[in-house]
Structure 1
């Protein structure tokens, strides 16, 4: 008669129900080991200016719980790369701000080397599905913006309380341009400029040609 040590661990107990329960517990344990993607709040931003994408420090917003249902806040995650909408050398730069709410996506392996070198690299350790290996995507559940670019049924709408600055070699517009303000070219006002050497009379100048 075989000893208890000769019986495979999952078969001890002698019933299919025990075997199924043991397998379920092992699967459940492995799932719990996976780092969950979750909502986070940005606590600090380490922006990389226009030349390179920066990182954020984020605080997970979903607490852990023990068997009695007691909540335990998770630790802050530091130096998390954030998403920038970019293709080649063209980008839309809107860096996160402290207080933003976004989402972290967990990598399956330790991506430290790839993040540091920005090149394909082997895993830095045997760590798997760790919350330390994540990227930040924002934003969700945030308040309404003060400045924005909006696509509407009638066209594009640009709103800002500040100044719109365009730095380009040349701007070409194949459309009518209307403004309630003034237009200046070379420091000369379209509304306020005057012409010298004009003889008084009732005539009008011809339209520009």
Structure 2
């Protein structure tokens, strides 16, 4: 390996110690090299997996390896118990926990955060360490493959896609549209409630899913029921003498 390459790796050049300024600059550069600010990290393990319980932690391995003075690549070890970002305000949150294999941005706090994390409050630093990887925080995934479950917000609207299920749970759920709400299922649409109210005309279509209606209990109509153009309330029958009967009483 050339002297120039060795110098680039070690940070020491033939002129590094040629004068007081160069010596001081070399000292400053060596000290700055120990200041960790942010790095790309690969998630190895996660303590939570989409659960509502408190924000978990993860184990992460820095993606950019180290180089020794001879240029030999030395991988970083695993940084354990790293807290990660969850979008939360008070008791409101969007739960999207990182997954093993994600590669994301990890920032390094400037002081020891162990006491503040343990107490979840303002605390004295746990030690005198500064800019140490032990005080890392996983901020967000930045390198990953295409998702199979996602919320897409684009110029054509919002898509919520899941290959498993989508569930909404609340005391009251309101779906409101100025134009149209469409429900479509490949197998069935089940609606269950003690009372189901419909305010509007009902139409049975003649498309591929068209068919009859089956009601297991009594059907009650306050006005009338019409079948094949005949009124259930006002219909008549032919009598034996060729006349017509009176409507149902």
Instruction: State the TM bucket, normalised to the shorter chain.
Output: 0.7 to 0.9
Task: Report Cα offsets for 1:12-62 as digits up to 9, x if no partner.
Answer: xxxxx6111011111101101112421111111001831310000011111
- What is the CA-CA distance between 1:153 and the residue it aligns to? 0.8
CA distance in 2, matches of 1:149, 1:173: 18
| Residue of structure 1 in register with 2:133 after alignment | 131
Unaligned runs of 5+ in 2: 1-17, 197-201, 205-212, 232-249
Structure 1 stretches of 4+ with a deviation exceeding 6 A read: 187-191
TM-score by length of 2: 0.69
- Higher-Rg member (1/2): 2
Alignment of 1:16-31 (within 5 A): 18-31=19-32
- What is the CA-CA distance between 1:89 and the residue it aligns to? 0.9
TM-score by length of 1: 0.82
- What is the CA-CA distance between 1:199 and the residue it aligns to? 6.7
Q: Are residue 202 (structure 1) and residue 221 (structure 2) matched?
A: no
Unaligned runs of 5+ in 1: 1-16, 205-209
| Residue of structure 2 in register with 1:183 after alignment | 189
CA contact (8 A) 1:100 1:138 kept: no
* Count of residues in Structure 1 that have an aligned counterpart in Structure 2: 189
Larger CA deviation: 145-154 vs 183-192: 183-192
| Residue of structure 2 in register with 1:44 after alignment | 45
CA distance in 2, matches of 1:124, 1:179: 56
- What is the CA-CA distance between 1:203 and the residue it aligns to? 5.3
Task: Report Cα offsets for 1:81-136 as digits up to 9, x if no partner.
Answer: 00001111111101111111112100111110011111110100011110011100
